[in-house]
Amino acid sequence: MKNITKKLNSPDMKYIFPWLLFIISFTLMVIQNHGNFGQRTSESLNWLIIFGTPYLLFAMGAGLVLSTGGVDVSFVGVSALSGVLSAATFGLTNSIFLSILSGLFFGLISGIIVGLLISKRFAPSLLATWAVGMIWFTISVVISKHIKIDNVTTSVSGIELINFPKFINYPFTIALFLFILIQTLNYSGLTKKTRAIGANRDSAIYAGVNVTKTEFLVYIINSLLASIAGIFWMTVLDRAQTEPFIGQEIIGIAIAVLGGTVMSGGYLNLFSIVASTFFYITLEKLTKSVNIGIADEQHWVSIALAFVFILVTLFFGKKINGTTTPVHIDRNTQN
């Protein structure tokens, strides 16, 4: 018993906790489904992959940045413009390779810009990334509105995608890709470095971590993950939307926090972010499919969703939170 209590109170519990939440919510979802049990469960898993992938990519990127003690909210703008550029390239060239490359290349460029601003120019991360995201978002609208492609419907709302391969027909391949991506990030040692920076920047420097380079890399990876999300979502919808995730910056960050990432930095576990993403997506599906039976039920759905999160933080806040003890030393940021 003592061992169990000790285990429950250990700091690592915050990484296990999201899995418990996910298992509970997924069980509820399966119970709520009606009809063929096997088919519904398989469709629900498919739902997790389709709707979970973009949020997981956002949350992983957000988690990486948060663990360094920074924040990046440009990912919504990056994903919108990556999708639009990919769709436009595909419409103009009919090349899948060039289409994906253009989206990823833009992600890389955006990451370099944000990385330079924050790691080299010491810009406040929230302000800089918000401004950059807004610019990308506006450019995506302008491109969609003015571009003309033969036989493709383009409008301010986005660009149509015709005959692009459907990645979502291969959910297990997507799951495998995500698994490999997470493992690569874990084994590269990047997450260890970001946590070290977030826990105590000066200690990280003394421990031999190249803080500037790591931060720069983290923002590039975050942008690349966002552009993958944008391209993926474009293939799901068969169109590049100009506002697919607008206003959802906070959700990406919230999922990362629910997954044990601490906003002041120092804590990160990518697998527990997977669990918290699945929990959020399952909860969203549950609330959207349940018929509450009143006219403006969608508002109640939002309230229900928020209420669950309040309950989670109320009862398990300590479990998902964590504290680091930064040592505040005034230093010359130029060095």
Q: Which residues bind another protein (CB under 8 A)?
A: 29, 32-36, 40, 43-44, 46-47, 50-51, 141, 145, 153, 155-157, 160, 168, 236-238, 241-244, 246-247, 284-285, 288-289, 291, 295-299
Number of neighbours of residue 162 by Cβ within 10 angstroms? 14
Instruction: Name which of 31, 82, 43, 71 is nearest 227 in CA terms.
Output: 82
Distances (CA, A) of 304 to 297, 299, 309: 10, 9, 9
Tell me the closest approach of the beta carbon of residue 189 to another protein, in angstroms.
32
User: Would you say 145 or 213 has its CB closer to another protein?
Assistant: 145
Q: How far apart are CA 259 and CA 238, in angstroms?
A: 31
* Least CB distance to another protein at residue 73 (A): 14
Q: Which is nearer to another protein, 95 or 289 (CB)?
A: 289
> Of 53 and 261, which has the nearer Cβ to another protein?
53
Closest CB to another protein among residues 8, 28: 28
Least separation, in Å, of the C-beta of 292 and another protein? Answer: 10
Which CB sits closer to another protein, 55 or 267?
55
Q: In angstroms, what is the minimal distance from the CB of 2 to another protein?
A: 43
Beginning with the edge strand found earlier in the chain, give each strand of the sheet holding 154-155 in spatial order.
154-155, 158-160, 239-241
**For the stretch 217-246, what's the b/e string if a residue is b when 16 or more beta carbons lie within 10 angstroms of its beta carbon?**
bbbbbbbbbbbbbbbbbbbeeebbbbebbe
Q: Which is nearer to another protein, 167 or 219 (CB)?
A: 167
Find how far residue 203's CA is from the centre of its chain. Answer: 28
Shortest separation between residue 38's beta carbon and another protein, angstroms: 12
Residue 132 CB, nearest approach to another protein (Å): 16
The helix (run of H) or strand (run of E) holding residue 214 is helix 211-237
Return the sign of the alpha-carbon dihedral for residues 267, 270, 276, 280. Answer: positive
